[in-house]
Amino acid sequence: MDFKVKNHSLNFVSKQSNELSCLSFYEKIPINDIDLETLEFYAVDRLKVLWEIERLQTAKKDYETAQQLSFVIDRYLPLSNKSTTEQRDKDLISHFLLRCCFCHNEEDRIWFIKNETKLFESRYYSLSPQDKRKFISENFPHKPINFQLLDPMIKNSLLMTDRLESKFYKIPFTEAGELIGSKKAYLNQGFAYFSEKVIGKIFRTQFNQKIAIGLQKASNIFDKFDERIQKMIEKLRSKNNTFFQFGNQDGTHIEFDELKNKIKSFPLCMKLIYEKLIQDHHLKHQGRIQLGLFLKGIGLSVHDSIRFWKQEFLKKMTEKDFEKDYIYGIKYNYGLEGKRVNWSPYSCPKIIGLKPAPDDFSGCPFKFLSTHNFKQILLNLEQKPNEEQINELISLKEGGHCQVACQRYWDLVHPGLDEPLNKLSGIEHPNSYFKYSEEYYEIQKEKEKEKEK
């Protein structure tokens, strides 16, 4: 068997691979006959897993997260050393296919690497001790050091981290990555010394780097794919975008004067920031970005965006100061200054992860509002909820299910639908909340028209 294939050329994964550890750094692209439908099905299943990982990062308890995660992985991407060739192929093929979907811009790449690394880590830590040993022997080329020959100071330091009987390793610190960052290694003259029990951190770092390189390569070979595959990748990308980005790519456009009538379609988070702005004629940095990118996402031009902010800010400051301090930030959001990236509006996971300063209404209200204030907001709604609805929303909020709570809130303020418009199990993006709301008001308008007839 040849385990040491280090180049990245295509390697045929033969049946022998079942003797290899199931976990891999995805360095060999499998070459099998496979029909397009299965291919797409594989990729979608992996997307589901990655999205679940993203979602769970914002959940509350680590323990529950780990359990739920392994449940989802087992359902869509089961993998162990006893896995069938088909299961192994599914894991490999879906990974490589998604690389091609996520290689096109920096934001996608970071997202993919982050969640793939979590997936890898979760799998690594659920390996049996035996499988773990196998994986280490295949992937960690260093031999343990002879403890007795070490300098006494290094010896003593190592014995603070693990027992004498353990195996200890020594590698250049540049290769030790997170072992350094998490202070799990002892550092001396440029070398990291560590015990075998923390080796997982090295794999995590390696995995991270290898996927990053892989994504760079994927973007180079994209054009060489079969046309049908290119089409499928495009399809997957747009599927992911509906989960994820909701930039203004769909070309909708909103005039400045229309904006007033659209506030009713704002999700709660944006509504609160907006109200704060109207009240104070000022917003802190985080709120400005969150609301500003959202407005960009619903189709407000940079010109109108500047008008929008000016209208409020000028009640409290001179035009000159406004231009000095705020124009740059607005243009930055639109990719016209600084890094010149066309920033996407924040998604729900991102917003939930924000840490708003006190009295700053950025972030997710289903997370940061006190139960009392939250209840007050519900009671002041035009569409008065009943007690049962209030209790449900509060218990969802308190359970940390921000996105589901947001969905229920949507249902509440958009009553009278024959069938639910949005079949997702939770709001994924404030801009999708807005879009569904707009659709709702369109339908209501048509209903009105019909009544008049």
Partner 1 sequence: MIEFNQNLKKPRTEEEIQKENQDKTQNLKIYYDYFFPFQQIFEWLSYGNLDFFHFREFSFLSSNIIRRFVSFENVTEFQRYVSMNIPQKIDYGAIYNYPPNKRNEITEFQPKKKELIFDIDITDYDDCRTCCSGTNICNKCWIFLVVAIKTLEYILRNQFAFRNILWVFSGRRGVHCWVCDKTVLDSSDSLRKNIVNFIFFENDEKKPLTPNQLEIYNEILEPYFKKVIETQELFEKPENWQKVLKFVKEEEIQKKIEKDFEQLPDSKSRYEYLQTMDYSKILPQIIFGVIYPRLDINVSKTMNHLLKSPFCIHPSTQQVCVPIDPQKCEDFDLKLVPQLNNLVDEFNEKGINSIPQSKFLNYYIKKLFIQDFLDKLK
- Residues in CB range of 163: below 8 A, 6 or more apart: none
What's the closest the beta carbon of residue 348 comes to partner 1, in angstroms? 26
Min dist. Cβ of residue 190 to partner 1 (A): 3
Rg of the chain over Cα atoms, rounded to whole angstroms, equals: 26
What b/e readout covers 88-118, taking b as 16+ CB neighbours within 10 angstroms? bbbbbbbbbbbbbbbbeeebbbebbbbbbbb
Kindly tell me which of 172 and 358 has the beta carbon lying closer to partner 1. Answer: 172
| 208 vs 230 by CB, closer to partner 1 | 208
* Count of residues touching partner 1 (by CB under 8 A): 24
Q: Where in 325-364 is the site for partner 1 (CB under 8 A)?
A: 340
Footprint of partner 1 on 57-116 (CB under 8 A): none
Between 98 and 192, CB nearer to partner 1:
192
**CB 102 → partner 1: shortest distance, Å?**
16
User: Which CB atom, from 35 or from 223, has the smaller least distance to partner 1?
Assistant: 223
Q: How far is the CB of 189 from partner 1 (least distance, A)?
A: 5
Minimum distance of partner 1 from residue 419's CB (angstroms):
45
Out of 57, 209, 241, 242, the residue judged to bind partner 1 by CB under 8 A: 209
Choice between 65 and 188, CB closer to partner 1: 188
The backbone torsions φ and ψ at residue 285, rounded to the nearest 5 degrees and listed phi first, read -50, -55
Residue 206 interacts with partner 1 (CB under 8 A): yes or no: no
Shortest distance in whole angstroms from residue 158 CB to partner 1 = 8
**Least spacing, CB of residue 404 vs partner 1, in Å:** 33
Q: Looking at beta carbons only, is 209 or 301 nearer to partner 1? A: 209
**Smaller CB distance to partner 1: residue 96 or 191?**
191
Between 47 and 158, CB nearer to partner 1 = 158
> Of 151-190, which residues contact partner 1 (CB under 8 A)?
156-158, 160-161, 173-174, 176-178, 180-183, 186-190
Q: What is the closest distance, in whole angstroms, from the C-beta atom of residue 187 to partner 1 in the complex?
A: 4
CA-to-CA distance for 102 and 92, rounded, in angstroms? 16
Where along the sequence are the contacts to partner 1 (CB under 8 A)?
A: 156-158, 160-161, 173-174, 176-178, 180-183, 186-191, 205, 208-209, 340
